[in-house]
Amino acid sequence: MAKVTGKAYDINLLKRVFSYVTPYKKTLIWSIFLTITLAALAPTRPFLIQYMVDNFIATGDKAGLIKSTLLMLALLLGQTTVQYFHTFLTNNLGQSTIRDLRISVFDHISKLKLSYFDKTPIGQLITRTVSDLETIADIFSEGLIMIIGDILQLIALIGFMLILDWKLTLVVLIPVPLLMLATYIFKESIKSSFQEVRTQVSHLNTFLQEHITGMNITQYFAREDQEMKKFVTINGLHRDAHIRSNWYYSIFYPVVEIISAMSIGLLVWFGSKSIIEHEITPGVVMAFIMFINMMFRPIRELADKFNTLQMGMVGAERIFTVLDTKEQEDTSGHFKPSAIEGRIEFKDVWFAYTDDKWVLKGISFEVQPGETLALVGATGAGKSSIINLLNRFYSINSGSIKVDGKEITSYDLNFLRSQIGTVIQDVFLFSDTIANNISLSNPQFSQEEIEKAARETGADDFIRKLPDSYNYNVMERGATLSAGQAQLISFIRALVYNPKILVLDEATSSVDTETEIVIQQTIQKLMEGRTSIVIAHRLSTIQHADKIIVMDHGEIKEIGTHQELLKQNGYYKRLYELQFNSSGIEKNSNLS
Type of residue at 304: D
Q: Which of 469, 466, 476 is nearest to 430 (CA)?
A: 476
The pLDDT of residue 81 is 93
Alpha carbon distances (Å) from 117 to 109, 123, 187, 205, 327:
9, 11, 36, 16, 10
Domains contained in the chain, CATH given: 11-323 (1.20.1560.10), 344-583 (3.40.50.300)
The pLDDT of residue 590 is 40
> Other CB atoms closer than 10 Å to residue 1's CB: what's the count?
12
330 within 8 A of 392, measured Cβ to Cβ: yes
Contacts of 483 (CB under 8 A, 6+ apart): 427, 510, 511
The pLDDT of residue 586 is 44
Pairing of strands 398-403, 406-407: antiparallel
**How far apart are alpha carbons 165 and 50 in whole angstroms?**
12
The pLDDT of residue 84 is 92
**How far apart are alpha carbons 483 and 510 in whole angstroms?**
7
CB-side neighbour CA atoms (13 Å) of 523? 26
235 within 8 A of 204, measured Cβ to Cβ: yes
**How far apart are alpha carbons 385 and 380 in whole angstroms?**
9
Strand partners, 558: 550
Q: Which of 522, 530, 528 is nearest to 499 (CA)?
A: 530
The pLDDT of residue 457 is 77
523 within 8 A of 504, measured Cβ to Cβ: yes
List the beta strands (DSSP E) in 281-357. Answer: 344-352
List the beta strands (DSSP E) in 404-539. Answer: 406-407, 420-424, 501-505, 531-535
41 within 8 A of 78, measured Cβ to Cβ: yes
DSSP label at 3?
P
User: What does residue 322 show for φ and ψ, rounded to 5 degrees?
Assistant: -65, -45
**How far apart are alpha carbons 592 and 590 in whole angstroms?**
6
Q: Which of 235, 193, 201, 27 is nearest to 129 (CA)?
A: 201
The pLDDT of residue 2 is 40
Strand partners, 584: none
**How far apart are alpha carbons 432 and 409 in whole angstroms?**
34
Q: Hey, what's the torsion of the CAs at 303, 309, 310, 311, to 10 degrees?
A: 110
| 83 alpha-carbon distance from chain centroid | 33
**How far apart are alpha carbons 461 and 420 in whole angstroms?**
27
The pLDDT of residue 518 is 66
411 within 8 A of 393, measured Cβ to Cβ: no
**How far apart are alpha carbons 477 and 214 in whole angstroms?**
12
Contacts of 505 (CB under 8 A, 6+ apart): 383, 384, 387, 422, 423, 424, 425, 535
Type of residue at 259: I
429 within 8 A of 474, measured Cβ to Cβ: yes
**Rama region for 113: left / alpha / beta (φ>0; ψ in -120 to 50; rest):** beta
The pLDDT of residue 1 is 40
Contacts of 286 (CB under 8 A, 6+ apart): 46, 49, 50, 53
CB-side neighbour CA atoms (13 Å) of 475? 4
**How far apart are alpha carbons 62 and 361 in whole angstroms?**
99
pLDDT in tens, the chain (592 residues): 444 444 545 677 778 888 888 888 899 889 889 988 888 888 888 888 888 888 888 888 888 888 888 988 998 999 899 989 988 988 888 888 888 888 888 888 877 777 777 677 676 777 777 777 777 777 777 767 777 888 888 888 888 888 888 888 899 889 888 888 887 787 777 767 777 777 788 788 788 777 777 776 777 677 778 888 888 888 888 888 888 877 877 888 888 888 888 988 998 898 888 888 888 888 888 888 888 888 887 777 776 777 777 777 777 878 888 888 777 666 777 888 888 888 999 999 998 887 778 889 888 999 899 888 988 887 778 888 888 888 888 888 889 999 998 998 899 888 888 888 888 777 778 878 888 888 888 888 888 888 888 888 777 888 888 888 888 888 766 667 777 778 888 888 888 888 889 888 876 655 566 666 666 777 777 777 888 888 877 776 777 888 889 888 888 888 888 888 888 888 888 887 777 665 444 444 343 3
Q: Which of 422, 393, 421 is nearest to 329 (CA)?
A: 393
**How far apart are alpha carbons 351 and 343 in whole angstroms?**
21
**How far apart are alpha carbons 401 and 119 in whole angstroms?**
26
131 within 8 A of 201, measured Cβ to Cβ: yes
Alpha carbon distances (Å) from 525 to 261, 285, 387, 452:
86, 93, 21, 13
505 within 8 A of 424, measured Cβ to Cβ: yes
Helices (H), 360-481: 383-390, 413-418, 434-439, 447-456, 460-464
